């Protein structure tokens, strides 16, 4: 008995090789898409695994707000803070640090470390005396006229001041700060472009 094609179908329509090739092409496309998605997800996860710990435990960005550190740091400058150094080393005199306000954990200050634990700090006519010796501060453009009686810093206490001594809320107002308030030290200025720089300790 002869087989006859149904009306409307041709030999071309019944070519099974055609359908097999189309299915293979579709499968290949889906496989390539799946591999692409996998690679993208892998790159994102690896990037997060590297960036998140660095962001949380090593370095952190901050913006300067206000004029308390002029002429060395200006309003809206973008700074990178080294958060890990003080896990191994003690803060040094002259380092510029970011710390939580003694009165409010939500408020952050940027100041320079002037007095170290165990030292006696006194302010005479705006100039700083540490253990009776005047501190030569070349980074201060204009001194205040403050006179503050000598205080002896306790263990883990630091005396911090803004470089702009006539316009800074600092240890002259709220006293010494404890080390556990310090977030980290200023490591790098990333903005503005014409002021990009790293920071070295001043000479005293």
Question: What residue spans define the domains of the chain?
Answer: 60-192
The CA distance from 176 to 14, in Å, is: 90
Report the pLDDT averaged over residues 43-72: 67
The CA distance from 181 to 111, in Å, is: 12
**Minimum mean pLDDT range among 24-33, 47-56, 91-100, 111-120:** 47-56
pLDDT of residue 117 exceeding 90, the answer is yes
Report the pLDDT averaged over residues 161-180: 95
Look up tokens 């710390």; give the residue.
Answer: 99
- Over pLDDT 90: what percentage of the chain? 51
Q: Quote the pLDDT of residue 61.
A: 76
Report the pLDDT averaged over residues 86-98: 92
Residues 118-139 have pLDDT tens digits of 999 999 999 999 999 999 999 9
Contacts of 81 (CB under 8 A, 6+ apart): 59, 60, 61, 62, 98, 183, 184, 185, 186, 187
Q: Which one has a higher pLDDT value, 13 or 107?
A: 107
The CA distance from 162 to 126, in Å, is: 12
Other C-beta atoms within 10 Å of 135: how many?
Answer: 16
Q: Quote the pLDDT of residue 89.
A: 87
pLDDT of residue 112 exceeding 90, the answer is yes
Q: Which fold has domain 60-192?
A: Umud Fragment, subunit A (2.10.109)
Instruction: Exactly one of 6, 68, 136, 142 is catalytic; name it.
Output: 68
- Compute the chain's Rg from CA coordinates: 32
**Token representation of residue 98:** 């970011």
The beta-strand segments (E) located in the chain are 59-63, 78-82, 96-100, 108-115, 120-124, 127-130, 133-134, 148-152, 157-161, 177-178, 182-191, 197-198
**Token representation of residue 82:** 């080294």
Q: Which one has a higher pLDDT value, 149 or 33?
A: 149
Supply angle C-alpha 169, 200, 160, rounded to 5: 20
Instruction: Exactly one of 10, 42, 101, 111 is catalytic; name it.
Output: 111
Q: What is the pTM of this model?
A: 0.70
* Active-site residue flag, 31: no
DSSP string across 84-118: SGGGTS---TT-EEEEE-SS-TT-EEEEEEEE-TT
* Active-site residue flag, 26: no
The CA distance from 115 to 129, in Å, is: 9
What rounded mean pLDDT belongs to the chain? 82
**Minimum mean pLDDT range among 10-19, 79-88, 142-151:** 10-19
């Amino acid at each position: 008995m002869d087989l006859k094609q149904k009306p409307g179908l041709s030999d071309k329509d019944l070519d099974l090789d055609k359908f097999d090739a189309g299915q293979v092409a579709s499968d290949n496309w889906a496989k390539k898409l799946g591999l692409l998605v996998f690679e993208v997800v892998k790159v994102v996860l690896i990037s997060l695994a590297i960036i998140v710990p660095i962001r949380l435990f090593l370095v952190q960005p901050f913006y300067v707000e206000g004029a308390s550190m002029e002429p060395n740091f200006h309003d809206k400058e973008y700074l990178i803070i080294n958060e890990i150094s003080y896990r191994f080393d003690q803060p040094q005199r002259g380092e510029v640090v970011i710390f939580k306000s003694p009165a409010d954990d939500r408020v952050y200050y940027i100041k320079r470390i002037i007095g170290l634990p165990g030292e006696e700090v006194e302010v005479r006519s705006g100039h700083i005396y540490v253990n009776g010796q005047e501190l030569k501060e070349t980074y201060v453009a204009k001194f205040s006229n403050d006179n503050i009686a000598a205080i002896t810093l306790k263990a883990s206490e630091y005396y911090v001041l803004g470089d702009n001594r006539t316009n800074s809320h600092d240890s002259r107002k709220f006293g010494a700060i404890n080390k556990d308030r310090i977030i980290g030290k200023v490591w790098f200025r990333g903005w503005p472009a014409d002021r990009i720089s790293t920071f070295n300790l001043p000479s005293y």
